Structure 1
Amino acid sequence: MPSETRSAGGDTRTFLGAIMRNPFELGAIAPSSKAVARLAASIVPDTHDAVVVELGAGGGVISDAIRERLPPGGRQLAVELNDDMVRHLRHSRPWLEVAAGDAADLGKVLGRAGVAQADAVISSLPWTLFDEQRQKSILDEVSATLVQGGRFSTVITLSAMPSRRFRRFRGLLEHTFTGVGTMGPVWLNVPPALVFTASRSRPGSKG
């Protein structure tokens, strides 16, 4: 699906303003680059009734990349916690179904939108700002949301990888899902980033 022309500068200004007002809610210094967005969106399936959920849509760069790959008849939802970004996304991307809410309550948020399961979940959440319980809660919600064979991708900056919280996140990712891999790095992103991918969790891995 082609995207309408819009102001990338407007996306960036809104994103940076939201960071200044609530830096711990967004957890980034700049929107994802288009190259990172394309990598993250590469897991979008080519089926015409696919449901794709984005966590932490921010300024909408990844939302645009998802839309470009999603076949006609697919459904795209963006779950965003920050009020400023929710308003921005609804104004700048009227075609995008935006659900205001917390990824830790993903099942409830999607239930209110009439969605039971998704074929793909794509995230740019700031995992290293979360404690272990919040990391686990969100990953468990993603796992419960995905259909059998569904895919998950998430953006991780290289600057976050030496941290203890990243190592803990990586362990939870491998415990919760199968087929964990990486794409990238994208050096021109600010900061440089990888995209981690995974498949739906093993039966009985939650708990």
Structure 2
Amino acid sequence: MRGSGPAGAAEFLREFVKSPTTTAAVGPSSRFLADQMVAPVPGRGEPVVVELGPGTGAFTAAIQQRLGGRGRHLALELNARWAADLGRRFPDVETVCADARALPELMAERGLRADVVVSGLPWAAHTAVDGVPLVRLVADVLVPEGAFTQFAYTWTRWAPPARRQLRDLRATFEETVISRTVWRNVPPALVYLARRPR
């Protein structure tokens, strides 16, 4: 899979150097982290899965594998080059070059509500705009039993943006669980799983 080998890592690092505030990571996520991130995607039925900040597609591939041709998969990527590349590599994914804050309008246009939202966005993307944090917009497009996943590197967990994000998750969802450390990711990471929007 492109995006997980040396070429993909180099591409990711180039984008991070160009724009560290909009590129969440210095390299593509491992399949071990991807497995944790997509675990809430239902194994049956026709779920609607939204992906925010898919980057080079590590989570995209895992979502597609879990869906196995079922449901609908919408991916919002701000980086135009990555969005175009994802569209070519994953023709079954509806890839849109857009900011994550456009999510409510994009879902309304399609008449959709999401079963799961998977986010690879940096903490900076979650900063409140006009007093509204991004997690509130995510919660508003989820079905009542919906789930949201977000990863973070272990060394950022205690930083002020991460603490603010956890407060927002707990205020917005009935349940928020933090995974054990995924050591087989570089750097090691955690997954925040939030369920049932308030």
- Relative to the length of structure 1, the TM-score reads 0.86
Instruction: Give me the whole-angstrom Cα distance separating, in 2, the residues matched to 1:87 and 1:23.
Output: 20
How far did 1:88 drift? 1.9
2 CA distance for matches of 1:94 and 1:17?
Answer: 25
Which structure 2 residues correspond to residues 27-176 of structure 1 after superposition, within 5 A?
A: 27-112=24-109, 114-128=110-124, 130-133=126-129, 136-176=132-172
In the alignment, the residues of structure 1 paired with residue 131 and residue 68 of structure 2 have an alpha-carbon distance, to the nearest angstrom, of: 31
Partner of 1:201: 197
**Aligned equivalent of 1:16, options 13, 31, 46:** 13
Match of 1:205 in 2: none
Contact preservation (8 Å) 1:51, 1:120 = yes
Shift of 1:8: 3.3
1:101 Cα offset (Å): 0.8
Could you say what the CA RMSD is over the residues aligned between the two structures, in angstroms? 2.0
Percent identical residues = 34
Give structure 1 stretches of 5+ with no counterpart: 203-207
- Secondary structure, in 3 states, of the residue corresponding to 2:184? coil
State the number of aligned residues. Answer: 197
Distance 1:134 1:121 in 2: 22
2:31 and 2:58 in contact (8 A); partners too:
yes
Give 1:123 deviation, angstroms.
0.7
Unpaired runs of at least 5, structure 2: none
Contact 1:79/1:100 (8 A) holds in 2: yes
Deviates more, 1:120-129 or 1:133-142: 133-142
Verify: 1:26 aligned to 2:23, yes or no: yes
Structure 2 contact 75–96 (Cα < 8 Å) conserved? yes
SS at match of 2:139: helix
Range that drifts further, 82-91 or 51-60 = 82-91
| 1:142 match: secondary structure | helix
Q: Aligned letter for 1:19?
A: F
The amino acid of 1:107's aligned partner reads P
Counterpart amino acid of 1:13? A
CA offsets per residue over residues 108-130 of structure 1, 9 Å max, x none? 12334x14201111111111565
> For residues 84 and 52 of structure 2, what CA distance do their matches in structure 1 show?
16
Paired residues of 2:3 and 2:57 also in contact (CA < 8 A): no
